[in-house]
Structure 1
Amino acid sequence: MDLAGIPLFAMLRSRLGYLSERERVIAENVSNSDTPGYRPHDLKPFSFEARVTAAMSAASGQAVTQPGHMTSPSVRRPGVKSTRTHDSETTLDGNSVVLEDEMLKMTDARMNYDAAIGFYQKSINMLRLATRPPGRG
Structure 2
Amino acid sequence: MDLNKIAIFSSISKKMSWLNERQKVLAQNIANANTPGFIPKDLKKVSFKAHVDRYSTNGTLQLQTDESDHLSAGGSNGTLFEIKEIEAGFTSTSPDGNAVNLEDELVKMTETQMDYTMAVNLYKKQVGLLKTALGKKS
Same topology, TM > 0.5: yes
Deviation for aligned residue 1:124? 0.2
Matched, 1:126 2:122: no
Aligned match of 1:9:
9
Q: CA RMSD in A?
A: 2.2
Deviations 1:81-107 (A, max 9, x none): xxxx7502x111110100000000001
Deviations 1:65-121 (A, max 9, x none): xxxxxxxxxxxxxxxxxxxx7502x11111010000000000110110011110000
Write the distance in 2 (CA, Å) between the matches of 1:119 and 1:97.
33
Aligned match of 1:62:
none
Deviation for aligned residue 1:47? 2.9
Question: Quick one: structure 1 residues 104 and 51, their matched pair in 2 at CA, closer, same or farther if it must change by over 3 Å?
Answer: same
Q: How many pairs were matched up?
A: 104
Matched, 1:37 2:37: yes
Deviation for aligned residue 1:50? 3.8
Unpaired segments ≥5 residues, structure 1? 55-84
Q: Secondary structure at the match of 2:42?
A: strand
Write the distance in 1 (CA, Å) between the matches of 2:12 and 2:48.
10
Q: Is the 8 A contact 1:11 1:51 kept in 2?
A: no
Write the distance in 2 (CA, Å) between the matches of 1:35 and 1:97.
9
| One-letter code aligned to 1:32 | N
Aligned match of 2:112:
109
**Bigger helix fraction:** 1
Write the distance in 1 (CA, Å) between the matches of 2:19 and 2:50.
16
Unpaired segments ≥5 residues, structure 2? 55-88
Query: TM (normalized to structure 2)?
Result: 0.68
Q: % of aligned pairs identical?
A: 41
Deviation for aligned residue 1:18? 0.6
